[in-house]
Copies of this chain bind each other. A is one copy, B any other.
Amino acid sequence: MWMETKTEVEEASRSRASLSQRVLSGLLLCTGDMKHLDEYMQDKSFVLQLVVWGLRGVTRVILANNPLSGALILAALFWASPWQGLLGTLGILASTLTAVIMGQDSAEVSGGLHGFNGMLVSLLMGVFSSAGDWYWWLLLPVCLGSATCVFLFSGLSSVLDRWDLPVAVFPFNIIIILYLLCTGQDNPYFPHHPAVPPGALEPNGTKLFAVEVIRGIPLGVGQIFACGALGPSLLILGSVLLYSPLLAVHALLGSAVGTLAGLSMAVRHDSLYSGLSGFNGALGCMAIGGLFFTFSWRTHLLAIASAFLSAYADIALSNLLGTVGLPACSWAATLTATLMLLLTGSLAAYRIPIGQVKAPEHNLRSHSQWAAGNAAERESTDV
């Protein structure tokens, strides 16, 4: 009898193990780039494919590439503001469909590369509009602006390909600046708020609250999507965690670095509290720490340097563009990441070619296997 019991226990533990293993493997299927989904989607309808392309595009903004993360981020945006969620969705659809109509490379379209710039343009148009939510005329510039991003993406890629550089969010940054310049602050059809430079003097010397500053660090991750609420920001951070824990760590680290840079330059308190000081640092840190470079201690330090440079450059550009009421968007992080990708010398050996960029863990795994192989070799030679 005890034999039976033992077997039962063993079987139960086995089935439990296999269950947890299945859950784990199921979870693992949902992390990383989810390349297996592409094969599964091949014979599905166009609308379903478009949804996956769009969701991949949503995550491209935070340098990830995972449809589930995209769904979480979109949920976070709708949670923060349904109007902003609608604008973002419309932007991503408008630009992805424009790319399909214009006959852009299908691998790029299905990878979501033609969606994220349009989404950001739409979100920022919504944030800066001073006509209030549910101002339906705004859908006109949202659609046109998002569609124009495809032209810029396609044209810039011809130039940047020569140095194996990603187009990144250059189209978004160009289009949103042109839109804000075009309409002006007192436009009768599309009025918008002017951006306040971070170096502007405070009306009165108020005390800086440490808790608020620390709260600004996760908000910095949300500000990548122009989202200033804590809950949705944490959900966005969670979706990055789902794609790659390493990327999430670098996002938080970069945002903290950006806040530190803001403190050292005595920027407006609002800028620190809202996370606006942090988001360029976060982007600059994420791009280098794991995504475009193989993770190692040297590239980790480079990622921190990149975060500092992005954050300081953002303060500088915000002060410059703020003189004409324009925001600096993510110019600083985009330019800094581009610069880092151009580096020569011994650091260039860590760089991953654009065509082979995958989730950081994927690169780290192959790197640790290689390191383990090296260690085993060393052991065998030691004996």
Contacts and interface: CB of A to CB of B under 8 A. Distances in A.
Interface of A: 102-105, 144, 148, 151-152, 154-159, 162-163, 177-179, 181-184, 186-189, 199, 201, 264-266, 305, 308-309, 312-313, 315-317, 319-320, 323-324, 338-340, 342-347
Nearest to A332: B178
Given A178-B313, A179-B316, A182-B316, A344 B105 contact: yes
A319 B181 contact: yes
A100 to B, nearest CB: 10
Contacts of A312: 178, 182
A189 B347 CA distance: 33
Contacts of A154: 342-345
A201 B186 contact: yes
A223 B199 CA distance: 30
Contacts of A159: 163, 342
Contacts of A320: 181, 324
Contacts of A102: 343, 345-347
Contacts of A308: 144
B162 A345 contact: no
Given A189-B264, A266-B188, A344 B104 contact: yes
B184 A319 contact: yes
20 contacts: A103-B345, A103-B346, A148-B309, A154-B344, A155-B339, A155-B343, A155-B344, A158-B343, A158-B344, A159-B163, A179-B316, A182-B312, A182-B313, A182-B315, A186-B201, A187-B265, A189-B264, A189-B265, A189-B266, A323-B324
